[in-house]
Amino acid sequence: MLLEQPFPTINSSIAPEPSALLAPSLRQLPLPTNAAWLNFILNEGTAPEYIHPYLIQCKDGGLSISYPSRVADPNYIYQAFVPNLTVLCNNSIYGKHVVTYYDDLSVTIEFPGGMQVPLVRGSPYVTLVFNDPAPLQFLSKETVLTVASVDNCTKHTVTLNNGQTWLIYTSDPLSLSTDLTVNGHFKGVVRVALLTGNLRAEEILDRFRSAYPLQGHADLSVPFQVKYEWKKAGWGGLLMLSLPMHRDLMLYPSSDCIQLSVTYRSMDGDMVGVVGDSWTLNRTPISVGWHSSKGISDQQQRGAIAVALMKDVAALSEITTGSSYFYGKAVARAARLALIAEEVGAPDILVRIRDFLDQSMTPWMEGTLGKNAFLYDEKWGALTTKNSCSNPQEDFGFGLYNDHHYHLGYFCYAGAVLAKLDPTWGKRYKAHLYTMVEDFMTSDHQRMDHSRQDRHHFHHHHTKVSRSKALFPRYRNFDFWVLHSWAGGLTEFLDGRNQESTSEAVNAYYSAALLGLAFGDLYLMNIGLTLTALEIHSAQVLWHIPSHGTMYEQEFSSSQRVVGVLWANKRDAGLWFAPAHDRPCRLGIQVLPIVPVTEILFQDINYVHELVEWTLPDLSRADVSDGWRGFVYALQAIYAPEEALQNVLKLSSHDDGNSLTNLLWWIYTRWSW
């Protein structure tokens, strides 16, 4: 089935022009807006990016490599960039770098003088390729203590006065003096690696010096599985580094592929060597649909929900906000009421909610709302909003491609529910709903030489939805290396991309799965649930901080139970909208919206207990709104539902995406756990 792009088009004046630091062949729609390497093409392209395990900077025609030291404080952790080693061609100081290739797991940068650098995430070596003889030069901010060359001048050990030892491997002999001067021109491959361990680690780095990765693809053709496939050059086995969240999920072909003596620290946990051209990561399947997993059999509880439902539905009134985010929350809130009505058997009330959803959603589909509208931005290849195209502050920077999965996730949730309740409406606006979900979850096209369609396992299941041309970048927000999304768009930050709310990211992919369920699209459902499961995994590993956790330094983790904003190169206790000491907000933003998948995100009851106990003392503050209190009590219900119920019944208001009905549904579906 061929779907057209149904929204009016615009060439946004708010979004920057696609960068001249992107090769001309890549400067065509659709363009990536939330990729982990965007600092290389934003503004001057000189802000560092974290390409595990190194911070990499492109500046003055050269590439600087930093194995960063960490700074830990009660409210943040970050890695400090110092250019330990810089590589450039002597004649390149006035030139600019250009990104010539990118994919799921890598980005290739070309520097003046012909130096090509395939930066593949997780490689212990930084690889530099010189296809023609070039006047190579090494520099260091540190004082060089010694340079020792062996193996016919193809291995060079450089010790610096900061205690670091760097290994420089070359495919051909290289004459390197003690001040890092290179005699003559060099053609071939240079590989640079920090030696972090003992003699055994050096032996392994020596052994795997010859095979280098060029590209990396994430294959999702099997539900709840990600397969990394690297394209490599050279010979021998490919040595890469794994993060704890990879090792949690990894299927090891054999025990000897793990190289425990090769370890590097990283912002996302200790990295350990793994040898292989591909990895398979298997996530435990999650089974979650429209309703709670166990239902509500107690008639008294069903009755209490029905009473709340009558009140909440009677109070439904025209949504007055023009904000795409808050409007999305409001329609998703109403959609929750519809599904709860189904669950407790209140069909009469369903009609009223269905009509409200129709009246609220259709103006966004038709572009008749007036206060705002969805548009297709032909500058980068993205949905945008009318308001955020005239003011970058509107809609939380949606026009700069911030938070697309959050906003559109809410609309997809409401759209999926309405399509379920009214299939005629769903059919009429299928192209609109698919355009919304594909904005943040397109999977069909790749820029890989060895590309494979992710969908081949699913061909026989349904009529393939296709487009006449690619509208959106592949998986706009989701990062397959760290297995979670980035919310931050086209803004240069020293610490890279960032994401605040994991629960809203989870909700986006869960909502995509529900859209698949509504339209009988098994492919969309499986991709949505797979990304839901992966986002949950990373939230639990990186954002959730149990008291016994070892992910972060004690200086930080002893006073924190959850990360506020997670950056590529930083962990911050504070939020975009609240300070680090505002614990109710910090808990709530990692919980909302409360939906059936919430119980999977918070399945560790001991951790939930710690998080709630960490937050409860703050509820004595008069400035804490009932909306935020509701999320604290929702988590409390996981281990103390009776107490949580009493607390919830005292609330006089709720978050604009939540309701008494939803909280009662949540508490009663925890009741006998």
Q: What element of type H or E holds 85?
A: strand 85-89
CA-based torsion, 433, 516, 448, 32: positive or negative: positive
- Residue 439, SS3 per DSSP: helix
User: Cβ-count burial of 534 within 10 angstroms (0-12 exposed, 13-18 middle, 19+ buried)?
Assistant: buried
Q: Which two tokens stand for residue 275?
A: 């040898």
Tokens standing for residue 22: 């992107």
Q: Is 134 in contact with 114 (CB distance < 8 Å)?
A: yes
Instruction: Please state the three-class secondary structure of 48-72 as a single string.
Output: CEEECCEEEEEECCEEEEECCEEEE
Name the one residue in this structure whose structure tokens are 């933003």: 589
At 595, list the tokens.
Answer: 């939906």
Task: Provide DSSP, 519-563.
Answer: TT-HHHHHHHHHHHHHHHHHIIIIIB--TT--SS-HHHHTS-SB-
Residue from 604, 568, 606, 572 nearest 586 by CA: 572
3-state secondary structure of 156: strand
Which residue among 394, 403, 439, 521 is the active-site one?
403
CA distance 368 to 351: 23
Which of the following is catalytic: 342, 495, 500, 535? 500
- Whether 504 is catalytic: yes
Bridge partners (DSSP) listed for residue 116: 110, 129
Determine the residue type at 635. Answer: L
Contact 498, 400 (CB under 8 A): no
- Residue 618, helix vs strand vs coil: helix
How is the chain split among helix, strand and coil, in percent rounded to 5? 35, 25, 40
From residue 197, alpha-carbon distances to 27, 194, 205 in Å are: 42, 9, 10
Q: Which single residue is written with the structure tokens 């906000």?
A: 321
> How many whole angstroms separate alpha carbon 266 and alpha carbon 500?
20
Residue type at 323 in one-letter notation: S
As beta bridge partners, residue 259 has: 273
640 burial level (CB within 10 Å; 0-12, 13-18, 19+): middle
Told to judge if 248 belongs to the known catalytic residues of this protein, a careful annotator would answer: no
CA distances from 599 to 56, 212, 287, 432, 501 (A): 39, 42, 12, 30, 16
Strands 212-219 and 175-176: unpaired
In DSSP terms, 149 is beta-bridged to: 156
Residue 62, amino acid: G
Which are the contacts of 628, defined by CB distance < 8 A and separation ≥ 6?
A: 584, 585, 587, 588, 655
Please, which residues have CB within 8 angstroms of residue 456's CB and are 6 or more apart in sequence? Answer: 221
Task: Using CA atoms of 322, 327, 328, 332 in order, give the dihedral in degrees to the nearest 10.
Answer: -160
179 is catalytic: no
Which run of H or E residues covers position 442? none
Q: Which of 202, 377, 454, 504 is catalytic?
A: 504
Look at residue 324 and give its three-state secondary structure: helix
Q: Which residue, 511, 489, 52, is CA-closest to 269?
A: 52
Active site residues: 403, 500, 504
